[in-house]
Amino acid sequence: MKRLAASVLLLGVAILTSCSSEPQKPAEKPQPKPPEYVTGRTAFQKLYIAARGWAPDAKPFKLQSQNTADSKGHDGSSAVWRASFASVASHGLKPYVWSGTNGEDAPPRGITFGSDDSYNPNNASTQVFDIAFLKIDSDKALEIAQKHGGEKLLQKSPETPVLFVLQWEPSTNTLIWQVIYGISREEAKLKVNINASTSDFIEVEK
């Protein structure tokens, strides 16, 4: 019996040793999350909620897309959107950014914000607007802009990026989508203004 028990014990030790000597499988690396592209209204909702956490009376005065290596705006969406909000109660303004990509030329993924600054309600470039005016999304704005010179431009120069800027126009009391074909407003090949409430074409800006 003693010999049998010893044999069983040695067999158990041998099995445990052989199991522990098996090479461990390397841990699987998590797959990087693919870029997320959203339209202006979708990004705006995310940023608006964040801004309300900063100031309950926060109102937007600008929304703008940012082109990246993996997002040129040709479908009316973007992987990065920037918005600026103002608070009358605190006399301050604050910029926010939503990023849906891990690209090197983009801000960190998620929502980030910049430093507070002072707000002057008399400044024409920072006129806040009511979100109820935003009824037309950036993809619809692009569709309209394409009919007013954008389609021909992209056929001729398909590498041209498209930017979207949403801003209040105080002279006409209108919320405007400006569709910009080019890397910036200053270097645009074409700028088309669309009413963000009615989808009406306004003008091709010179």
Domain ranges of the chain: 40-204
More confidently predicted of 49 and 30:
49
User: What is the average per-residue pLDDT within 3-11?
Assistant: 45
Question: What distance in Å separates the CA atoms of residue 113 and residue 180, rounded to the nearest whole number?
Answer: 24
Q: What is the pLDDT of residues 169-179, one digit of tens each?
A: 999 999 999 99
| Residue 20 pLDDT greater than 80, yes or no | no
In this prediction the pTM is 0.84
Q: Residue 8 has what pLDDT?
A: 43
**CA geometry: angle 7, 8, 9, nearest 5 deg:** 90
Give the pLDDT band (50/70/90) at residue 4.
very low
CA-nearest of 95, 84, 92, 85 to 120 is: 92
